[in-house]
Amino acid sequence: MRVPRFTLPPEGVHPDVAYQVVHDELMLDGNARLNLATFVTTWAEPQARLLMAESFDKNMIDKDEYPRTADLEQRCVRMLADLWNAPDPATAVGCSTTGSSEACMLAGLALKRRWQHARRAAGRSTDRPDLVMGVNVQICWDKFANFFEVEPRLIPMEGDRLHLGAAEAVAACDENTIGVVAILGSTFDGSYEPVAEICAALDDLAARTGVDVPVHVDGASGAMIAPFCDPDLTWDFRLPRVASINTSGHKYGLVYPGVGWALWRDAAALPEDLVFRVNYLGGDMPTFALNFSRPGSQVIAQYYNFLRLGRDGFRRVQQTCRDVATSLAHRIASTGAFRLLTDGSELPVFAFTTAPDVPFSVFDVSAALREEGWLVPAYTLPKNREDIAALRIVVRNGFSHDLADLLLDDLHRILPRLQKQTGPVRGPETASFAHGAGAPAGNDGRRPA
Ligand X SMILES: *Cc1c(COP(=O)(O)O)cnc(C)c1O
260 forms part of the interface with ligand X (CB under 6 A): yes
101 forms part of the interface with ligand X (CB under 6 A): yes
Cβ nearer to ligand X, comparing 252 with 303:
252
Burial of 25 (0-12, 13-18, 19+ CB in 10 A): exposed
Minimum separation from the CB atom of position 139 to ligand X (A): 8
The piece of 93-101, 208-216, 336-344, 402-410 that touches ligand X (CB under 6 A) is 93-101
Burial of 248 (0-12, 13-18, 19+ CB in 10 A): buried
217 forms part of the interface with ligand X (CB under 6 A): no
Minimum separation from the CB atom of position 449 to ligand X (A): 6
Minimum separation from the CB atom of position 260 to ligand X (A): 5
Strands 260-264 and 242-248: antiparallel
Minimum separation from the CB atom of position 411 to ligand X (A): 25
The piece of 172-180, 217-225, 332-340, 348-356 that touches ligand X (CB under 6 A) is 217-225
- # residues contacting ligand X (CB under 6 A): 14
- CA distance linking residue 331 with residue 259, whole number of Å: 34
Contact 249, 52 (CB under 8 A): no
380 forms part of the interface with ligand X (CB under 6 A): no
* Member of 35, 55, 100, 342 binding ligand X (CB under 6 A): 100
Contact 118, 179 (CB under 8 A): no
Tally of CA atoms within 13 A in the half-sphere of 130 that contains its CB: 16
211: left (phi over 0), alpha (psi -120 to 50) or beta: beta
Q: CB-based contacts of 282: which residues, under 8 Å, 6+ apart?
A: 64
39 forms part of the interface with ligand X (CB under 6 A): yes
Cβ nearer to ligand X, comparing 341 with 415:
341
Tally of CA atoms within 13 A in the half-sphere of 279 that contains its CB: 4
Contact 154, 115 (CB under 8 A): no
Minimum separation from the CB atom of position 427 to ligand X (A): 26
Cβ nearer to ligand X, comparing 246 with 354:
246
140 forms part of the interface with ligand X (CB under 6 A): yes
* Member of 55, 221, 244, 318 binding ligand X (CB under 6 A): 221
The piece of 26-34, 152-160, 214-222, 395-403 that touches ligand X (CB under 6 A) is 214-222
144 forms part of the interface with ligand X (CB under 6 A): no
Minimum separation from the CB atom of position 231 to ligand X (A): 21
Provide the 10 A C-beta neighbour count for residue 26.
8
Cβ nearer to ligand X, comparing 260 with 296:
260
Taking CB under 6 A as the rule, which mask of x and - marks residues 154-193 in contact with ligand X? -----------------------------x---x------
> How far lies 414's CA from each of 2, 391, 395, in Å?
41, 15, 21
Rounded to 5 degrees, what are φ and ψ at 248?
A: -100, 110
302 forms part of the interface with ligand X (CB under 6 A): no
Cβ nearer to ligand X, comparing 358 with 390:
390
220 forms part of the interface with ligand X (CB under 6 A): yes
Provide the 10 A C-beta neighbour count for residue 163.
21
Cβ nearer to ligand X, comparing 260 with 348:
260
Strands 378-380 and 349-354: unpaired
Cβ nearer to ligand X, comparing 176 with 248:
248
> How far lies 255's CA from each of 82, 224, 258, 292, 298, in Å?
20, 12, 8, 21, 7
35 forms part of the interface with ligand X (CB under 6 A): no
218 forms part of the interface with ligand X (CB under 6 A): yes
- CA distance linking residue 221 with residue 39, whole number of Å: 8
The piece of 20-28, 218-226, 276-284, 311-319 that touches ligand X (CB under 6 A) is 218-226
* Member of 99, 129, 227, 348 binding ligand X (CB under 6 A): 99
DSSP character for 176?
T
The torsion of the CA quartet 226, 231, 232, 235, rounded to 10 degrees, works out to 40
Cβ nearer to ligand X, comparing 150 with 411:
150
Minimum separation from the CB atom of position 224 to ligand X (A): 11
Q: DSSP letters of 226-286?
A: HHHH-TT---STTSTTEEEEEEETTTTT-PPSS-EEEEESSGGGS-GGG-EEEEETTEEEE
* Member of 138, 342, 353, 443 binding ligand X (CB under 6 A): 138
Closest to 80 measured CA to CA, from 60, 97, 57, 105: 97
Minimum separation from the CB atom of position 207 to ligand X (A): 30
Binding site for ligand X (CB under 6 A): 39, 99-101, 104, 138, 140, 183, 187, 218, 220-221, 248, 260
